[in-house]
């Protein structure tokens, strides 16, 4: 009968030990969850901070690229206009020269044509032909 009396407190001790172990495990899980949540919150804050820093940088780069593209387009337009003006001036100069010196202009054109034909003839008689 003594075994019943000692086994009851032993059973109670085992039950208390199991409850304490379960409470410790629950506490460890809650502590781990808190640490994980805090780490996640810090990481989330850092991501938000980086995002806040990146948006103005991306906007500034986009604005600079847009401005550079506009400047490039304007430069192309300006160069094109200058080339057109030079071509018109050259055409006007040529037409004026032909009107003032028609015979000389015709002789220059004939000499230029003959020189081009001579160059083409020389190029077609290349020594590499077999």
What mean pLDDT comes out for the span 7-24? 78
Per-residue DSSP letters for the chain? Answer: -HHHHHHHHHHHHHHHHHHHHHHHHHHHHHHHHHHHHHHHHHHHHHHHHHHHHHHHHHHHHHHHHHHHHHHHHHHHHHHHHHHHHHHHHHHHHHHHHHHH-HHHHHHHHHHHHHHHHHHHHHHHT-TT--
pLDDT of residue 127 exceeding 50, the answer is yes
The token pair at 97 is 């020269």
pLDDT of residue 16 exceeding 90, the answer is no
The predicted-structure confidence for 28-54, as pLDDT tens digits, reads as follows: 899 999 999 999 999 999 998 988 888
Identify the pLDDT of residue 51: 87
Identify the pLDDT of residue 1: 45
Note whether 108 and 100 are within 8 A (CB): no
Sketch the domain layout of the chain as residue ranges: 19-101
The Cα 51–Cα 116 span in angstroms is: 66
């Amino acid at each position: 009968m003594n075994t019943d009396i000692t086994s009851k407190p032993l059973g109670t001790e085992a039950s208390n030990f199991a409850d304490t172990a379960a409470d410790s495990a629950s506490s460890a899980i809650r502590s781990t969850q808190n640490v994980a949540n805090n780490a996640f919150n810090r990481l989330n804050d850092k991501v938000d901070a980086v995002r806040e820093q990146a948006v103005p940088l991306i906007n500034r780069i986009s604005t600079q690229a847009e401005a550079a593209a506009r400047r490039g387009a304007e430069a192309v337009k300006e160069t094109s206009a200058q080339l057109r003006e030079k071509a018109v001036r050259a055409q006007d100069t040529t037409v004026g020269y032909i009107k003032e010196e028609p015979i000389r202009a015709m002789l220059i054109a004939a000499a230029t044509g003959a020189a081009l034909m001579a160059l083409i003839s020389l190029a077609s008689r290349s020594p590499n032909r077999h």
